[in-house]
Chains A and B, each alone.
Chain A
Amino acid sequence: MAQYVARRLVQLILVLFGVSVVVFLTMHVLPGDVATLLLGDRATTEQLDSLRRQLGLDQPIYTQYFRFLIDALSGDFGMSLRSNRPAVEDVWIAFPVTIQLSLAALFVAVVIGVPCGVLAAVRPLSRFDNIVMTFSLFGVSMPIFWLGLMMILVFGAFLDWLPIGGLMPIGVEPPRVTGMSVVDSIISGDWRFVLLSLRYLILPAFTLGTIPLALITRITRSEMLSMRSHDHVRTARAKGLSESTVILKHVLRNALIPVVTVIGLQLGLLLSGAVLTESIFSLPGLGRLMVNAILTRDYPVVQAAALLTASVFVFVNLFVDLSYAYLDPRIRYR
C-alpha cells in the first residue's frame, strides 16, 4: 500500500506541474495587454514599458513561468485588478461558499440516491424501479441552469416556500469564522441563523445535486443487480439467511465499493456545476468569482481560482483512488 501511495503522490506532483503550465499558458495568451489593462488606455509608451519591466513581462516566457510558479507556491498571485486586494484573498473568501454548496449537494445526492438505488434493485422492473429509473434518466439529462430557474419559479415564486438567492437575508450574517454560512451559524449558537442558512441552501443544493443524485441512483441499482447473481449471494441464500440479511450484508456491502468511488468522483461535476448554480442563485462562490474575473479580464484572480480548484480536484481524486485501493486489494496489487 505504501508503494502505491508513493507512486500516486509522484504522479500527483507531475499532474499539478502540468496544471500550472496550462493555467499559465492560457492566461498568457489572454487577449489584451496586461500593462494596458492596469494603466488604462491613456498611459504613455514609456509608462507601459516601465510597468512591463516591473512585472517581468519583458522576460522570456520560461523565466516568467518559473517566476509565476515560485510566487504561486508562496500563495502570491498578484493583486486583483478589480478589488485591489491580493487575488488569493478574493479566492479564499469565495472558496468556502463553493465547498459548502458542493458538500450540501453531495449530501442530497447520497442520502436520496443510495436508498433509491437499493430499493429499485430489490424489486427490478417493479413500478417503483420504473419510476426511479425514469427520474434518474431525466436527472442526468437536465441542464442544471434551467432546473435552478424552475426551482426558483416553483418553490420561490409560486409556492413562496424558500428564498430564491443569496446565502442569508440582507443585513443578517453570523460572525464569519469559516466562511460557510451554515457552519458559522452553528458556531454562533443562534438557531435562527442555522435555520435561515439551511433554508437558503436548500434550492441551490437540490439543483446542483440533481445530476449526481441520478448517477448515484443508477450506479447503486446496477451494482446491486450485478452483485445479486454472484456465487457468495447464492450461498448465503442457500444457507437459509433472511432476504434482508442477504441484501444488507452480502449484496449492499459489496455493491457499495464502486458506489463510493462514483460518489468521490462527483466532485468534478459539482465544481463544474457550482459555476452555473452560483450564477443562478447569486452565491458569492468561486465559480461566480471566476466568471466575473474572466469577463473583466482580472487574470490574477482567474489564475488563483483555476489553480486552487484544479488542485482540490486532483487531491480529491487521489483520496478517492486511495480509499478504493484500501477497500479493494486487487487495485493496489495491480
Chain B
Amino acid sequence: MSAIEIAPVERPQWSRDAARLLRRPTARIGVAIVAVFLLLTIFASLIAPYSPFDQDFAKALMGPSGDHIFGTDQYGRDVLSRVVFGSRTALLSIFVADGLALVLGCALGLIAGFFGAWLDSAIMRVVDVLLAFPYLLLALIIVAALGPSLFNSMIAIGIVYTPQYARLIRGQVLSVKTTEFVLAAQALGANRMRIILRHILPNSFTPILVMATLQAGTVVVETAGLSFLGMGAQPPSPDWGSVLAEGQSYFLSAWWIATFPGLAIFAVVLGFNLVGDALRDHFDPRRRKE
C-alpha cells in the first residue's frame, strides 16, 4: 500500500510577513495600541459611559471617581467619554491629512520622477519652497488663509506633509523606472499610465507604507496642536487638542481634564511609531540584519 503524500500547505506571503513582523515585542505593543485605538473609534458610543456633550453643572470639576473614571470638566462633562469620542477626530485626521498628503505627494512625485525634464524641475522647486517653512508655521499660514476649523486644519497639515511624500516617491520612481521590467513593459508598447499604475507604483509601495504609518502619529499630534492653539476643532468638539486646551485654564486645580487627552495622544503616537519602526526594519534588509 503506497502512502499518500500530502504536500505541506504553504502559508501566503503576507501571513509569513505578518508573523515575522510580530516576532518583535515592540511591534506587538504597537499593533496592540493601534488596535485598541481603532476599536475605540468604532465602538465609541458603546464604550463611552456618557455622551461627550452632556453637561451637568452639579458635577463640574469632579476628580476621578467610580462614576467618572477620568473625572469631569468645568461643565460637568465626563472626560473619559470625551477622550473616547475624541479618538474619532484623531482617526479622521489620519484619513484626511495623511491621506491627502499621500495622494497629492504620490501624484506629484510620480509625475516629477516619471516625466522628468522641466516638469520635474518645476515640481521639485515648489516642494523646496514648501520645505523651507517650519511645519507648524506653514500649517498656521494655511489655516489663516482658509479660516480656523477642524477640517481646514487637516487640509493644512495634509499640504504641509505633501512635499515629503513627493520627494520619497520621486526618488523611488527614478530608481524603478530604469529597471528591466519597466523597460520591457515600454518595449511591449504599454502606455505611460499603465506603466505608472501597474509597474512603478506597486514597486514603490513599501516606503510609502512605512512613511504613511510613521506620519499617522505625527498627523494626530499636529492636528491636536492646531486645535490646542484654537486653529482647529472648536469647542464643544471632543477633539483631544481642544479638550486639552479647555483643561489648560483649570490645570492647576483640575489636572485630569488636560492629562487624559494628552495621554491618549501620546499612546496613539507611540503605537504608530512602534508599528512604523517595525515595518521599516522589516522591509529594510540592512536593518533586519542589525
A interface residue numbers (CB < 8 A to B): 11, 14-16, 18-19, 21-23, 26-27, 29-31, 137-138, 140-143, 145-147, 149-150, 152-153, 157, 225, 267-269, 271-273, 275-276, 279-280, 290-291, 294-295, 297, 302, 306, 309-310, 313-314, 317
The interface stretch among B80-88, B93-101, B126-134 is: B126-134
CB-nearest residue of chain A to B265: A143
User: Does B252 make an interface contact (CB < 8 A)?
Assistant: yes
Residues A141 and B273 in contact, CB atoms below 8 Å apart: yes
Residues A149 and B133 in contact, CB atoms below 8 Å apart: no
Which residues of the partner chain B approach A140 to less than 8 Å between Cβ atoms?
Answer: 273
Residues B132 and A302 in contact, CB atoms below 8 Å apart: no
Chain B positions 248 through 287: 1 when the CB is less than 8 Å from some CB of chain A, otherwise 0? 1001100100110111011001100110000000000000
User: Does B137 make an interface contact (CB < 8 A)?
Assistant: yes
User: Does B244 make an interface contact (CB < 8 A)?
Assistant: yes
User: Does B176 make an interface contact (CB < 8 A)?
Assistant: no
Closest Cβ of chain A to B89, distance in Å, is 14
Residues B147 and A290 in contact, CB atoms below 8 Å apart: no
Residues B133 and A150 in contact, CB atoms below 8 Å apart: no
Asked if A275 meets B265 with Cβ closer than 8 Å, knowing A18-B128, A157-B252, the reply is no
Which one of A26, A153, A225 lies within 8 Å of B255 (CB-CB)?
Answer: A153
Which one of B145, B231, B252 lies within 8 Å of A153 (CB-CB)?
Answer: B252
User: Does B35 make an interface contact (CB < 8 A)?
Assistant: no
Residues A29 and B217 in contact, CB atoms below 8 Å apart: no
Residues B229 and A279 in contact, CB atoms below 8 Å apart: yes
Which one of B129, B143, B273 lies within 8 Å of A18 (CB-CB)?
Answer: B129
User: Does B154 make an interface contact (CB < 8 A)?
Assistant: no
Asked if A268 meets B145 with Cβ closer than 8 Å, knowing A157-B252, A276-B225, A290-B140, the reply is no
CB proximity to A under 8 Å, residues B202-244: 217, 221, 224-225, 228-231, 241, 244
Residues A314 and B140 in contact, CB atoms below 8 Å apart: no
Which one of B134, B244, B255 lies within 8 Å of A145 (CB-CB)?
Answer: B244
CB-nearest residue of chain A to B141: A26
21 A-B pairs (CB sep. < 8 Å): A14-B128, A16-B132, A22-B129, A22-B130, A27-B144, A141-B266, A141-B270, A142-B269, A143-B262, A143-B269, A146-B266, A147-B262, A153-B252, A153-B255, A225-B290, A269-B134, A279-B228, A291-B231, A295-B148, A309-B137, A313-B132
Closest Cβ of chain A to B220, distance in Å, is 9
Closest Cβ of chain A to B215, distance in Å, is 13
Residues B143 and A150 in contact, CB atoms below 8 Å apart: no
Closest Cβ of chain B to A279, distance in Å, is 6
User: Does B31 make an interface contact (CB < 8 A)?
Assistant: no
Main secondary structure of the interface of A (DSSP, over half): helix
Closest Cβ of chain A to B245, distance in Å, is 8
CB-nearest residue of chain B to A134: B26
Which residues of the partner chain B approach A23 to less than 8 Å between Cβ atoms?
Answer: 141
Closest Cβ of chain A to B126, distance in Å, is 7
Which residues of the partner chain A approach B130 to less than 8 Å between Cβ atoms?
Answer: 22
Which residues of the partner chain B approach A291 to less than 8 Å between Cβ atoms?
Answer: 140, 229-231
Asked if A149 meets B262 with Cβ closer than 8 Å, knowing A29-B145, A291-B231, the reply is yes
A273–B139 alpha-carbon span in the complex (Å):
13
Asked if A26 meets B144 with Cβ closer than 8 Å, knowing A14-B125, A143-B221, the reply is yes
Which residues of the partner chain B approach A149 to less than 8 Å between Cβ atoms?
Answer: 244, 248, 251, 258-259, 262
A295–B130 alpha-carbon span in the complex (Å):
23
Closest Cβ of chain B to A295, distance in Å, is 6
Closest Cβ of chain A to B289, distance in Å, is 11
User: Does B22 make an interface contact (CB < 8 A)?
Assistant: no
Which residues of the partner chain A approach B142 to less than 8 Å between Cβ atoms?
Answer: 26
Residues B259 and A150 in contact, CB atoms below 8 Å apart: yes
Which residues of the partner chain A approach B274 to less than 8 Å between Cβ atoms?
Answer: 137
Which residues of the partner chain A approach B221 to less than 8 Å between Cβ atoms?
Answer: 143
Asked if A143 meets B224 with Cβ closer than 8 Å, knowing A157-B252, A294-B231, the reply is yes
A142–B148 alpha-carbon span in the complex (Å):
24
Residues A271 and B134 in contact, CB atoms below 8 Å apart: yes
Residues B266 and A142 in contact, CB atoms below 8 Å apart: yes
Asked if A18 meets B266 with Cβ closer than 8 Å, knowing A149-B248, A310-B133, the reply is no
In the complex, the 4 A-B pairs of residues with the closest C-beta atoms, listed nearest first: A146-B262, A18-B129, A272-B136, A271-B134
